[in-house]
Structures are given as C-alpha cells and as structure tokens.
Amino acid sequence: MFEQSISTLAQKLRNKDISSVELTRLFLARIAKLDPQLNSYITVSEQRALEQAAAADALIQNGQGTSLTGIPIAHKDLFCTEGTLTTCGSKMLNNFIPPYESTVTSRIQQAGAVMLGKTNMDEFAMGSSNENSFYGAVKNPWNLDMVPGGSSGGSAAAIAAGLAVAATGTDTGGSIRQPASFCGITGLKPTYGRVSRFGMIAYASSLDQGGPMAKSAEDCAHLMQAMAGFDEKDSTSAETPVEDYLANLNAPLTGLKIGLPKEYFGEGLDPQVADIIMAAVKEFEKLGATVKEISLPNLQLSIPSYYVIAPSEASSNLSRFDGVRFGHRCDDPKDLLDMYKRSRAEGFGSEVQKRIMVGTYALSEGYYDAYYLKAQKIRRLIKEDFVKALNEVDVIMGPVAPTTAFGLGSKTSDPVAMYLEDIYTLSVNLAGIPAMSVPAGFANGMPVGLQVMGNYFAEAKLLNVAHQYQQHTDWHLQTPTMAKGA
C-alpha cells in the first residue's frame, strides 16, 4: 500500500477498499518501525492524524472531498502548524508551538489530507546534507551511511522509505531538488511567488519557495493543485491564475525544445551522472523532443552571489529570535544583553551562526556596496541568462547535483566542498524560475535526478514533461531495500 500513487489510493478510499483511518495507521506503524533508523521525522502527530483521517472518512462517506482527502502526508518542520511543535530543526524553536497555521498546510488540510507529522531538516533550512539538525542527521534509505540531501532531507527520506505518500518541502538554493535527487523521488520547486510563504519560517525571503515532493510528477501535481495560488497574507505572492496541473499531464512532447547548458557538463560532474542525464535526454528525443546546446555564462557566479544574498537575508530574518517573545531563552541572564547573547549562542547551531555572521558582515557599513549590492547585480545577470535561453527553448535540462549522495560526515569539515554541491541548483532560485528533479537512474548504487527547468509559472509544462518521461521509465518506482516488506 505504501508504494501506491495518490490517484490509486484516492480510488481505493472512494471504493471503500480501505479507510483513511486504516491507511493512516498503516503509515504510523511503518514510521514506528523504520524511522528510528532514518530519523526522518522530528514530530509524529498520531492523535491529530487519526482525527483528520476520521474526518476524511466521513467526507468520503458523504461523497465529498478531493483527490487528497484521506491521503497521509508529512510537512517539513518549518511550516507553522497550529498546536503542533514547529522547530525548524533548531534548539532555538525546540519549544515553539504555533498559534496559527501556515497557508500551505492550511490549504492542504482543507483539501482533506492527513498530517502524519513534521519532517527533519537542516537547521533553519541551512545545509545540503541534513546533518545540521539539532535533532540529528537524517539517513538516506538507499544506504544508511549516506546523506539524504538537504535541507528537505527528512521529507525526501520519508517518501523514499514509504513513511509518507507525499510531503511538503522548501527550496532556497536547491533544498527540494537535491534531496529528491539523492533519495530517488520527484520534487518541484515552483516559481517564486507561486506558493504562499505565509507561516513558512524564513531563511532568505527573496529565495525561499515551498513545493511538493512525492514519488511521481502526477503525485506532485495533486499536491501542487492544493498548495498554489495567491495569498493576501504574503506580500510576495503572485496573483497569476493557477493552472489545472493535472489536465495536461498526458499531452505529447512532440516538438518540445530542450536546451542543454554547456556549463552543466564541465569539470566537477561525475561521469556516471553525466551519462545518466544524457541517457534521459535521449529518451525525450524518442518522445519527439529536439535538443540544442545553450549557454548560461554566469552559472559559476551563482555560488558567490547566493552565499552573499542568502546569509544577508538570514541575518535580518533571524534577528527576531532573541529569547524574548518565543523560542529558547538562556537560564538566569544577568541583564538584557546577556540574555540576547547567550540565548542566541545556545539556540543556534554552528552553520546558522556562521551564515548570520557572514550576512551581518556583508550588510555592514562600508561593505554593503562591495558585497550585497554587487551580488544583486550578478543575480540580475543570471536571471537574464535564463530569460534569453528560455526564449530559444521550452525547457532546460541538466544534472541536479555533480555527484550522487555522499557519505555522512564526509564534507562537514569542508564547507566549500559542501557549498559546491549546489552549483547546478542555486541559479534557479536567484532567477526565480521553476525547476524539478526527476528520478533518472542509479550510479554507484545511489539515485540520480534529472533537473528540468522552465519559464516563469510554467509548472504545468514541467509536470507534463516529467510525467511523460515517467510513463516510459520506471526509475521513480524503485524502492529501497529497507522499505520493502516492512
């Protein structure tokens, strides 16, 4: 049952082959059995899940509901969930129970989905390996000695292991796509502004974007249908009408123009990963697509640009965590300044502290023009590269990451090597365009994701492209050994 799609499970629920309560209990049992090995959940909300499942069964009994009604899913632990612990993977919020619901979780709840719990993540979404969580590292279900990717690694690992049908994630510099690639699932980073950020605890406000993660593009489309849309509570929310993401999944790809950026296939890319990506591209050619080489000349500047802009925004956003109103507060402070200092030093982990310091420096007097302003100018050039390329082609394809999942602890002492894992994903966030990771094969026994990038608000096209590929391949149907028979 844990390998079934949302459409299949929804049909079983409507046919009364299984109830949502029974389905939810099945997943809760799997979490209890398998998650001690994975550490993919921070909070399992059993009581809330069973109550929501019972309510979903009542709706289905009355012939009501949506395709998500009664489907057990999980949320990344930076979406505020009213009455349920929301930690952002940090000691700073170890005791934070929000008094309100984020727009994303509220909309999914209104669609009738069941919340199994909150998934583990890099602290405040800062990381590429899910080793920065206060609650410990998440393990990759394909190999427990490997990282699942970050920062949405908990969501990716839970889906791959069959501990949730689907999950929400967030993507600031690749944090949906990279863990999706490392864990062999499908993940969509929407256009900036397509999904509301209200109630999503911020890392870098001009880059953060919530999105769906699931086994397949079709399942992502179901989740995206509930998540997307304008929200007056979010000043960055786009008023562009929401498409029917399921309507055109089966549209043929004849005439699709694919661009391959030469910068994505240079030094640093694992040859096995490159071979898998090119094999996937050839599959699209069989489906009627044409391929041409393109150039994104400023790709190499995305890492220095991102690691000035994102920490600068983090420095501003995380200043609210001061031990006064909510979150961790140190014991017996001598005075207000001591409380600020010790609460933040105790509450934030080393990676978060590092990025706050970098961002504060970049924004300080005398350095703002030299660093932050220059980084924003580079960001404009990166965006213009994508705009030019997407005037010539319908979608851009390439690898998600230069390698497959790496070993736990292998890069924690080398931040530059860790940051280079995001070389192919950061530019998408800087430009604000949508992109997906689609399972495309295995190298060294670990999954490899194909990255598909599109024009602004072209999520429906990306989902169509990914779905058609998945109708002719079975990489997205592969299951880790540890998940079978559990």
Active site residues: 76, 151, 175
Beta bridge partners of 76: 119
Where would I find the beta strands (DSSP E) of 378-445? 395-399, 435-443
Residue 240 main-chain phi, psi, to 5 deg: -60, 130
Q: Are residues 400 and 422 in contact, defined by beta-carbon separation less than 8 angstroms?
A: no
Residue 379 belongs to what H/E stretch? helix 374-392
**CA pair distance 189, 181, nearest whole angstrom:** 13
Cα–Cα distances (Å) from 271 to 11, 277, 372, in that order, read: 42, 10, 35
What values do phi and psi take at 440, rounded to 5?
A: -130, 0
Q: How far is CA 430 from CA 43, 182, 308, 449, in A?
A: 32, 22, 12, 21
How does strand 435-443 pair with strand 186-189?
antiparallel
- Compute the distance between CA of residue 45 and CA of residue 239 in angstroms, rounded to an integer: 33
d(C-alpha 186, C-alpha 220), whole Å: 7
129 vs 402: CA distance, rounded Å: 14
Could you tell me the sign of the dihedral formed by the alpha carbons of 322, 326, 330, 331, in that order? positive
